[in-house]
Chain A
Amino acid sequence: MKNKRLLAAILAVCCTASALTACSNSSTSSTATDSSASEASSAEASSEATSEASSEAASGLMSNEEIIKKAASEGMVGNWGLGNEYEIQALLSKYGQPTDYVTMDFTMDQIDKDSITLASAMTYNELGLIKNSYDGGYSYGDEIGIIDMNDEGVAMLEDMLFCTKAFAEANPNTVKAFTSASMKGWVYACEHPDEAEEIVFKYGSSVSADHQKYMAGEVAKLVTTDTKGNSVPAANVGQMDDEAIQQTLDLAKKYIKIDDATAAAKLQELTLDDIRSKDYLTYDGGAVEKSDVKIQLKWLPQSQFMGYYVALDKGYYTEAGLNVEIVSGGGDVSETVAVNNGTVDFGVTWVSNLINANAGGMDLLEVAQVYQRSGLVLCYKKSMFTAQ
């Protein structure tokens, strides 16, 4: 008897919910988009961007500039916000458009349903989902076109390793040991993306194996190619290219909007030396000051962070005398906050997030730049931007 009542209660809640759905649906005329492209293989994304665009030109596809202007004027440009929006804002400004964007949730539902036409995507994650037809994918295949931030000259560097300046000064050997072991993990992961994918999966990732594999391949490209498209040799993985970081800093100063006058002033004063140090890239074997360390990722456990999982699994951390725990992120206690208050020792974040946090009064220091180029693209359905 009681169970019945419970069930009734629960179902009723859902009932009201669905009644609301019915309301919203009755006023719609949205039709499912044809998914004939679903058989398309997991096409390569970022690096082919330019050539793809030029070959499409003949078929009446608009230029990047036209696409951006059209989408921006209609208010159809999407991004996730929360510090991920600066490159998009820089791009919009480049073409003289207002920097407003629509917040995307962490799916591609909005571009799927045409409620936005130009969606932000990471080459290794959302772009794979929208193109591919594996579980969770939207199967658009080659119907999806992309605008690459690196090609547009508004690239800001993303995933990198950091800790607090105080921690680095107090534990230089720990930081060096951790950094070099991590980079060793990254080198191995980029050379063996399939194996890396399996390791990540083993460490509790819930991302589907197919998507994980796609991600590993795309992430490897970001680690081993710089913003100009030159390849980065294994020995230089983690290097900090001053020019690229300077560009990131310059764009950050322009597009990070801070209400707090003190922080805003501090942001403008930041120099490269305030945000990164090259002193910790190589480890020459001193005894580590602190052996139990934690690292918080920027997002959920997935191949985006395969280097750290590989280093853990292959014992690179143990060899360096470290006992490492990997804490996944993606919550609202961001990695900068967690590192700053000492809950974890290291963090993975985007350079712009670190700049933002330092402007706000934290004292964080980048010790290795893992992604050498921007993985952010804007993607669109070609059919939406083909001149008739």
Chain B
Amino acid sequence: MILKKSKSLLNILSTVGLPVLFGALIYILWQTKVLHALFGTDEIILPLPDRIGSIISDNFTNMLPQIASTLIVALGGLVLGSLLGYFIGVAGAVFKKWGMGGLTIVSAFNAIPLVALAPVINNWTRDLSNQVDIRSTVAKIITVTIFCTASMSVNAYRGLTEVKPFSEDLFASYGSGKLKMFLKLRLPNSLPYVFTALRVSVPACVIGAVVSEYFAEQVVGVGRQIRENIVKGQFPTAWAYIAIACAMGILMYVILLIVESIVLKNRRAR
């Protein structure tokens, strides 16, 4: 028992500790410019971490509105895209014959260059409002929504349909109706699949938000700052925003993992 506990503790320690150690190593190599020598690049293109850090700490209050704007777009698109994806998955599971056609089509979204769509989506929302912030935010959220729909719909469909055959038989033998079977069996069964989908779409929604901001009409957001600063040759500032974008994605991913472990644990305990 004790052995098992200490083993799992060791496991957690190594899961967290090893990447941190590796990160520290990279940090040292970076700060001492070994990384620059290795890549043959200079401090202008790849600024030193302490400079990036000081830019973030100097400007953090100015950066907050940018972060908030990106977060709204990312979360808005994630929620809408996941709901839409789940709905499509449900439609696919309920109306098998017709829904599947739709599902294939949604999967084909992956094959479209998203960057190409972003400017056109601006054209679609142009008549929506005279306020640039409203129409621009809507356009960005649509882009992220498209980004997040596909993986959710495919996974939701799998979760809803890939139930164990015997449990289906069991429900049938109790004389449960289709609706009851759906609510009591299929929906709970799809939960782990929903989390599988979210593991893909949570990082994707941040990337999607960043990319959609490149082309947005309103000059705001972490992604926009990255592009402005890169094109203007202000790499340290650009890297500060890149670091923020990464941190946002990782933070959201960690939150997802925590929520997942809580939700799925309760479920298993039941």
Known A332-B231, A362-B44: A262·B105 in contact at CB below 8 Å? no
B55 interfacial by beta-carbon distance below 8 Å? yes
Contacts of A102 in B (CB 8 A): 132, 217-219
Q: Assess A260 versus B236: contact at CB under 8 Å? Given A81-B228, A82-B231, A102-B132.
A: yes
> Complex formed: what's the CA distance from A20 to B128 in Å?
12
- Alpha-carbon distance A262/B240, docked complex (angstroms): 14
A115: B residues at CB distance < 8 A? 126-127, 130, 132, 135
Which of A5-13, A51-59, A176-184, A286-294 is the interface stretch? Answer: A5-13
Chain A neighbourhood of B62, CB < 8 A: 259
B87 within 8 A of A: no
On chain B, the residues within 8 Å of A353 by CB distance are: 232-233
B126 touches A110 (CB 8 A): yes
| A230 sits at the interface (CB 8 A) | no
| Distance in angstroms between the alpha carbons of A360 and B146 in the assembled complex | 36
**A36 at the binding interface (Cβ < 8 Å):** no
A332 touches B219 (CB 8 A): no
Which of the residues A5, A20, A113 comes within 8 Å of B142, measured between beta carbons? A20
Alpha-carbon separation in the docked complex, A109 to B217 (Å): 12
A3 within 8 A of B: no
A357 lies within 8 A of B233 (CB): yes
Q: How many residues of B contact A (CB 8 A)?
A: 53
Q: Tell me the bound Cα distance from A82 to B224 in angstroms.
A: 9
Task: Render B120-140 as a binary contact track against A, CB cut-off 8 A, 1 for contact.
Answer: 111111111011100100000
A137 located at the interface, meaning its Cβ lies under 8 Å from any Cβ of chain B in the complex? no
CB neighbours of A212 from chain B (8 A):
none
B54 sits at the interface (CB 8 A): yes
Among A12, A261, A337, A356, which residue has its beta carbon within 8 angstroms of that of B58?
A261
- B59 at the binding interface (Cβ < 8 Å): yes
A334 in the interface (beta carbon within 8 A): yes
A105 vs B215: C-alpha distance when bound (angstroms): 7
Q: Which residue of B lies closest to A105 (CB)?
A: B119
Q: Does B109 contact A (CB under 8 A)?
A: yes
- Segment with Cβ contacts to B, from A22-30, A318-326, A371-379: A22-30
In the complex, whether B151 has a CB less than 8 A from a CB of chain A is no
Determine the distance from Cα of A28 to Cα of B123 in the docked complex, in whole angstroms: 13
Q: Cβ of A360 and Cβ of B127 under 8 Å apart?
A: no
> From A256, which residue of chain B is reached at the shortest CB distance?
B232
